[in-house]
Structure 1
Amino acid sequence: GACAEDALRQAGGATHEVEEAARIRDLLRRNGEELHSLLRALNGEYVLPAPGGDLLRDGAGVLPTGRNIHALDPYRVPSKAAMARGLAAAEAAIEQHLREAGSYPETIAVNLWGLEAIKTRGESVGVVLGLIGARPTQEATGRVVRFELLPLEALGRPRVDALCSLSGIFRDTFANVVELLDDVLRRAAEAEDEPPEQNFVRKHFLELQAAEGDAEAAGSRIFSNAAGEFGSLVNERVSAGNWEQTDELGETWAQRNAFAFGRNQRGVERRNVLDALLATSGSMVQLTDSVEYGLTDIQEYYANTGAMVRKMGDLQGRKVSALIVETTQKEVRPRRLEAALRLEYRTKLLNPKWAEAMVAQGSGGAFEVSQRMTALVGWGATARFQESWVYDQGVEQYVFDEETAAKLRASNPEAFRNVVGRFLEASARGMWAPEQEVIERLQETYESLGDELEGMA
């Protein structure tokens, strides 16, 4: 409290971190301003503007709450810091492929998500520019007006082609960035003075132009849902159990994301081009932008990252992995998808303290556990993450631990039934091979929950 802070100051031991923490605490206590600002807005009065953001990333500047928040100027994306971090991620992805495969990747796919770009000021855009060897050019006001290609001599390696997969929010929020990316990618494709073996953007452009007979199509590198559409629908299929073969999920993603965008096209379906680029992709890069939620917490990650690498693998006849870049960390260290998932499952779903906290939250906590079990099946179906130890420990912790199971069942029987059902589904689909006794216990629990829910209806 305040007394402790005063004592620290008098003793000369108050650090900058302690003072900043006290400042943040005081600002958080001003949350009553939210109601005050709401009343001012309803009265048509002025509400003080302020930048929005993540408290952990952006610091006390996002406080107090209750102000008229704005995100960022899309014409200043990427920022200098975002460009530097994106470039580091791009080079790390290229170096990893070179180290493992002995050659440069011809294509690397990048997911560009709207909220990530807002929080990081465009790190994913920096990744794309890093891959193809380009840098942003700013006018005197700081606005980014063009992406310039570096000469191959300055780049020191081939230009790696970039397949840009946009979320609907990014597509609609950063239309100017989409046009700038399209412009620089097409200039790379049309660089006649660069040999195709040193410019994979041009190499693929020439191949696609020969196949499609259309320069506009051959130069397309930016894909998303059709205009006005959002999401891959893969998570809906997984949640409903509405799929038979895993390749159906990769195909669903491709069907939903085969629409090209750029200066001269606003959602033109170009499935052949998308497939050709996926077939040459050595890996894909996914940025995570928050410590509050990760790959295993929400369905959109496996529905996009997982489904994309699934489609890549199906087209290439091999397993393709993704590289995960945690933008909240000081150093840019891409981690393989499988390693990132293992870490998250150990620290969250299979962490007794996390489980205890979720169970203590009642119905909402049970729902969170249920969602993560659905995501576990989703990752198994898309990215082929099917490690038995996760299921073995999970079933013991949430179903066979009598105290935990009783609390989940009492607080949210429907969510608990989904937890049990996902274990049975994983077994039935060949993702997990438990002992027959385990299956029988799960089936008995699942059936009793069905009877219980019927009685409540």
Structure 2
Amino acid sequence: MQLAGEEDPEEFLATGIDNIKQSKVIGLLRNALFDGTFPEGNEQLKNMLNTAQVNYKRLTDNQEILALLKALNGEFIAAGLGGDPVRMPETSNGTNLYGFDPLKIPTPSAYKSSEQAFEQLIKNYQAEHQVYPDKLAFSLWSGEAQRHMGVVEGQVLRALGLKPVWGRNGRVSYFDIIAQDQLSYPRIDVVVQVTSVYRDQFDGFMSLLADAIARLAALDDGNIIAKNTLATQLELINKGIKKQEATELAELRIFSNQPGDYGTGVTNLALDSTSWEGDGALAEQYLARLQYGYGRKGWGVSVGQGINLFGQQLKGVDAAIMSRSSNLHGMLSTDHPFEFLGGMAAAVRSVNGQSPELYISDLRQPTGRIVKAADFISEEMRARYLNPNWIKGMQGEGYAGALEILNTVNNVFGWQATAPDVIRNDQWEAMSQVFVEDKYKLGLNEWFDEQQPVAQMQIIERMAEAIRKDYWQASDQAKIALATRYAELLQEHPQHKAAIKTADFLSELVAGYGPNAGQGGNQNVVGQTLQQVTEQSSNTSSNITRLLLVLAMLGLILSGAIYQKQLNKHRIKGQ
């Protein structure tokens, strides 16, 4: 629907923020929200504005601090619905948040929605590869499941050819196997990585899924799950595992941390980039922490004996999928997306020799879509992180805004290290132009100087690491900008230390592209400069120090003598 005679909505939104602010649509919205006035003669528009008014009041009614004070005072905190406030304006704040019953995953509506998402996933893969995928990997998160209520879980079930059976209370009680002749596609094998929080909250879904996969593996109908299970079983037997144990292990498709363990260590390792070369270390770290299988005969088990079953099951994975259902968090706002989906890409590459296709199940809008991870990241960078309006917002946040920009650059590097195909060379160039060269003339260098200069130094160091590791074939313009600005910052903050390899590379960069480039010699840009002092001044200073120490000692001795004399007088009087 077009409002107030505006042009096509997509073209209108591309006209720029200033034009949008002056538009009739925003005028109508402003009148409804702040003045309570509505247009006459258009009931549909009036209803929409009424809804906007209600949602706006709910979103701006901040009860967080009041609720915190009540909690500290031991008072009751009412329960309220959690979720993404943009996607679900009825989300509350200042309340004891609840999601929903985890045993209802997936809900009937979510399973229905998963059909379109799964069909689009297969269609996208076929368009590029002209075949069906044989094996898909999914990364499941607790927060995501609570928002989309099982749409991605539904995609897992549809790949396997399973259908949930719901009880009268809405809880899922069983997964039925759909006969192959009722499916419009061959069954697709899956590997499911779940976060440790998901493991703790959605163990019911995991148990039902593990049982269904074991039943599929036992079918004698030639399905790919059974074939892959048999192949894995034979490999394990050949490596010395007993037949019964090998059979049970080969059924496992769900992997996570060891019970009680959280995280992967991939994020810290990725940013500690001078401690490794290539990406084998990242894959090894990911597989080591997430190698524990969850099935009907074992919960949180690993094979041992030098066998990583998770890596074994990732062999042959064609594509990996993760969801994004929040308008607040994308692929670069935190390090978890590259930790899990990027880590999975590195792991698959380590066992298959090539990266899988990476897809995002974009569920931020009522009508979801499947999009390549690279395209999702590209859209996010243009719309948010390289957008001058977002940068102005960060400037308004002071030092915290500077750290947010640093985190963004670090997360881009994390993706570059784990899944190189999703980050482009021109995106590094764009970040250099915006955050170092101040493309939008926002006074960024002055702002960093005032708020958090070390954050900009670390941004440049991260970019230098991208060049050093040959991720980014930087232009001469970018190298000059990085070298010049880093030399300026280091002169003002000589106490700052970069990692040794990064520091050495920056020294070369400044020598070749910095303000004194071409004047000969190697400019060391790391550490403090020691100033030579004359022997005379050193001796004078030393003599003064000795004199002061002698006087201090004499003072202490004299004070002690006086104190002892007074003490003796008191003792004599008291006898």
Relative to the length of structure 1, the TM-score reads 0.91
2:136 corresponds to: 108
Q: How does 1:329-408 map to 2 (within 5 A)?
A: 329-384=365-420, 385-401=422-438, 403-408=443-448
Write the deviation string for residues 72-120 of structure 1: whole angstroms up to 9, x where unpaired: 1011111122212333322322233333333321210000001101111
Q: Distance in 2 between matches of 1:35 and 1:41?
A: 10
1:58 is matched with which residue: 88, 92, 101?
A: 88
Q: Distance in 1 between matches of 2:197 and 2:166?
A: 24
1:27 and 2:58 equivalent? yes
* Structure 1: stretches of 5+ with no match in the other structure: none
**Secondary structure at the counterpart of residue 281 of structure 1:** coil
Contact 2:122 2:132 (8 Å CA) reproduced: yes
Q: How does 1:46-445 map to 2 (within 5 A)?
A: 46-60=76-90, 62-63=91-92, 65-192=93-220, 194-195=221-222, 199-212=223-236, 213=243, 214-241=246-273, 242-270=275-303, 271-384=307-420, 385-401=422-438, 403-436=443-476, 438-445=478-485
Relative to the length of structure 2, the TM-score reads 0.73
Q: CA RMSD in A?
A: 2.4
CA 1:178/1:400 → structure 2, altered by over 3 Å: closer, same or farther? same
CA 1:341/1:40 → structure 2, altered by over 3 Å: closer, same or farther? closer
User: Partner letter of residue 456 of structure 2?
Assistant: F
**Secondary structure at the counterpart of residue 170 of structure 2:** coil
Contact 1:111 1:124 (8 Å CA) reproduced: no
Q: Distance in 1 between matches of 2:452 and 2:308?
A: 46
Contact 1:413 1:449 (8 Å CA) reproduced: yes
Same amino acid, percent of matched pairs: 26
Q: Distance in 1 between matches of 2:413 and 2:253?
A: 31
Which stretch of the first structure deviates more once superposed, 331-340 or 268-277? 268-277
* CA deviation after TM superposition for structure 1 residue 125, in Å: 1.1
Instruction: Write out the 4+ residue segments of structure 1 that deviate beyond 6 Å after TM superposition.
Output: none
Q: Distance in 2 between matches of 1:267 and 1:236?
A: 24
CA 1:36/1:386 → structure 2, altered by over 3 Å: closer, same or farther? closer
Q: Distance in 1 between matches of 2:448 and 2:72?
A: 41
CA 1:205/1:26 → structure 2, altered by over 3 Å: closer, same or farther? same
Write the deviation string for residues 145-184 of structure 1: whole angstroms up to 9, x where unpaired: 1111111111132211110000011000111111011111
* CA deviation after TM superposition for structure 1 residue 407, in Å: 1.1
Higher relative contact order (CA 8 A, sep 6+): 1
Which stretch of the first structure deviates more once superposed, 66-75 or 423-432? 66-75
* CA deviation after TM superposition for structure 1 residue 456, in Å: 8.8
* CA deviation after TM superposition for structure 1 residue 437, in Å: 5.9
Contact 1:83 1:126 (8 Å CA) reproduced: yes
CA 1:204/1:433 → structure 2, altered by over 3 Å: closer, same or farther? same
* CA deviation after TM superposition for structure 1 residue 4, in Å: 6.5
CA 1:266/1:97 → structure 2, altered by over 3 Å: closer, same or farther? same
Contact 1:107 1:277 (8 Å CA) reproduced: no
* Structure 2: stretches of 5+ with no match in the other structure: 1-30, 237-242, 498-575
**Secondary structure at the counterpart of residue 162 of structure 1:** strand
Q: Distance in 2 between matches of 1:158 and 1:80?
A: 23
Contact 2:33 2:53 (8 Å CA) reproduced: no
Which stretch of the first structure deviates more once superposed, 148-157 or 110-119? 148-157
* CA deviation after TM superposition for structure 1 residue 444, in Å: 4.3
**Secondary structure at the counterpart of residue 427 of structure 1:** helix
